[in-house]
Structure 1
Amino acid sequence: MDAELFPRSRTEIAPGAVHLPDWLPPGRQKELLEACRDWARPPAGLRTVRTPGGGTMTSRQVCLGWHWYPYGYASTVVDGDGAPVKKFPAWLGELGRRAARDALGNGTLTAPGDHLPTAEGPPPPPYDYDIALINFYDADARMGMHRDSDEKSDAPVVSLSLGDTCVFRFGNTGSRGRPYTDVELRSGDLFVFGGAARLAHHGVPRVHAGTAPPELGLTGRLNITLRVSGLRSA
């Protein structure tokens, strides 16, 4: 959309859960997309995740730093080709720290793409992001309500969106049902949840096909989720 009657703005969806629209400028989105395409190549590339009950997730996934499988972490792709998990790059950890600071730090935001607070405030916590879960959604993919509870750290989760717009359902810590809030996440949007919202259930009930920015060159949606494992390296 070239212009909006009411520009989107920072929104606190729940205490500790913040949506920052258009956080990644177009140039950074393209850079991140190219990195995702490289990470998706084998070995340890994009795979279909199978659940213990025999089902499969409709989104496909590749991991960096630590390999996630239902429901734990490993240093190799234990439910795939067995290759060592791809390394988590330092620049992606810095991006995660900036995202957490902009969303949950001193509460002062700058213009999109700058990511540096302009007012006095406490320094950002030294979150040591070391996991990336990258999920690719085609038009028919969904993600059921779940909690990110396999980590041994309560550091905020950072979620970045590229490509098609989705409905992101952010719920509560007690159950997969109501109350929840549906949030529209577009390409370049940032969503961070920590504190009291760290273990809230969340999911993706719908992807709006064909809504990605044409200049991005992506059909579908990529979600890059950054986490702190709290695990010791092998």
Structure 2
Amino acid sequence: MTRPASDLDGFRLWPGLLDRAEQEALRDAVFQRFRAGPLYIPRMPKSGLPMRVRMTNFGSLGWVTDKEQGYRYQETHPETGKPWPDMPEKVLELWDKFAAYPAPPEACLVNYYEGDARMGLHVDSDEEAWDAPVLSISLGDTALFRIGGSLRSDPTRSVRLASGDVCMLGGAARRAYHGVDRIMNGTSRLIPKGGRINLTVRRVTVPQLAM
């Protein structure tokens, strides 16, 4: 049995949705795809400073950033030049179950948090399909996740995201500032060398629905 989901201004959390066997299977599917779409260190626009997390993507589109062109989606890995690996079936299954959106996801951003890695407050704003929710899947060490409102100055609240938790930002929360304050190292043994893997599933383009 899964504990009831919580709903707060469009932020929904399903704690412990994936059991241990499901977490291990998804972890293995993710690691297998690292061979074709290896983790790399993205760089910030303008400054070219490295981000604190390593990243890759699965799906037809991938979110990337660099000094020269900034934030964007593209069809190929910035280092290999090859298409991104496909999304794991479990990721697509969770999108179909919870997103309630009339089109499949196009991008699954993979963030690998190690050591003191974190993510500052930001809004996912590079997508055309703003009406589509963002689905997040946590694997490995627990993260202290922070979410606020549509303004950076709005009050924030903290939520612990543990391995197997799934959350969704839809409605008002889709435009909310959010980030990861820190990783609680050693809280999970799912990832062999420790750390946290976060899968962020997104629809990027507006679907062309049949009339």
% identity of equivalent residues: 38
Match of 2:11 in 1: 17
- Corresponding position of 1:77: 77
Q: Tell me, yes or no, if the aligned pair for 1:96 and 1:129 is still in contact at 8 Å.
A: yes
Deviation at 1:83, TM superposition (A): 2.1
By how many angstroms is 1:197 displaced? 1.3
Unaligned runs of 5+ in 2: 66-70
How far apart, CA to CA, are the structure 1 residues paired with 2:87 and 2:50? 25
Q: Distance in 2 between matches of 1:181 and 1:231?
A: 31
Residue 87 of structure 1, CA deviation: 2.6
Pair 1:170-2:164 in alignment: no
Deviation, 1:94, is 2.4
Given that 1:142 and 1:205 are in contact with CA atoms closer than 8 Å, whether structure 2 keeps it comes out as yes
SS of the residue 2:175 aligns to: coil
Residues in 2 aligned to 1:144 and 1:51: alpha-carbon distance in whole angstroms: 12
Q: Is residue 92 of structure 1 aligned with residue 91 of structure 2?
A: yes
Structure index of larger Rg: 1
Tell me the TM-score normalised to structure 1 length: 0.78
SS where residue 164 of structure 2 aligns?
coil
Amino acid at match of 2:5: R
1:59 maps to: 53
Would the aligned equivalents of 1:165 and 1:184 in 2 still touch at CA under 8 Å?
Answer: yes
Offset at 1:210? 0.3
Equivalent in the alignment of 2:196: 221
Contact 2:101-2:132 at 8 Å conserved across structures: no
Deviation for aligned residue 1:84: 2.1
Q: How many residues align?
A: 198
| CA distance in 2: counterparts of 1:11 and 1:40, whole angstroms | 33
Match of 1:209 among 182, 185, 188: 185
Change (3 A) 1:215 1:197: closer
The 3-state SS of whatever aligns with 2:95 is: helix
Aligned partner of 1:156 in structure 2 is 133
Q: Which amino acid aligns with 2:34?
A: A
> In the TM superposition, what whole-angstrom CA distance separates every residue of 1:126-179 from its partner, at most 9, and x where no partner exists?
34112100111112111111111111112110001011001000111122x331
Give the one of 19, 31, 42 matched to 1:49: 42
Query: Partners of 1:190 and 1:92 in 2: how far apart?
Result: 11
Helix, strand or coil for the counterpart of 1:92?
helix
Is 1:141 aligned to 2:117, yes or no? yes
The amino acid of 2:72's aligned partner reads G
Partner SS for 2:23: helix
Q: In the TM superposition, what is the alpha-carbon distance from 1:203 to its structure 2 partner?
A: 0.4
* Structure 1 portions without partners, runs of 5+: 1-6, 101-123
CA–CA distance in structure 2, aligned partners of residues 151 and 215 of structure 1: 31
C-alpha separation in 2, matches of 1:67 and 1:125: 19
Look up the match of 2:68: none
Provide the C-alpha distance between the structure 2 equivalents of 1:25 and 1:75, rounded to a whole number of angstroms: 32
Distance 1:91 1:30, change over 3 A: closer
Shift of 1:88: 3.2
Shift of 1:59: 0.9
| 1:99 CA displacement | 3.3
Query: 2:83 and 2:119 mapped to 1: Cα distance?
Result: 26
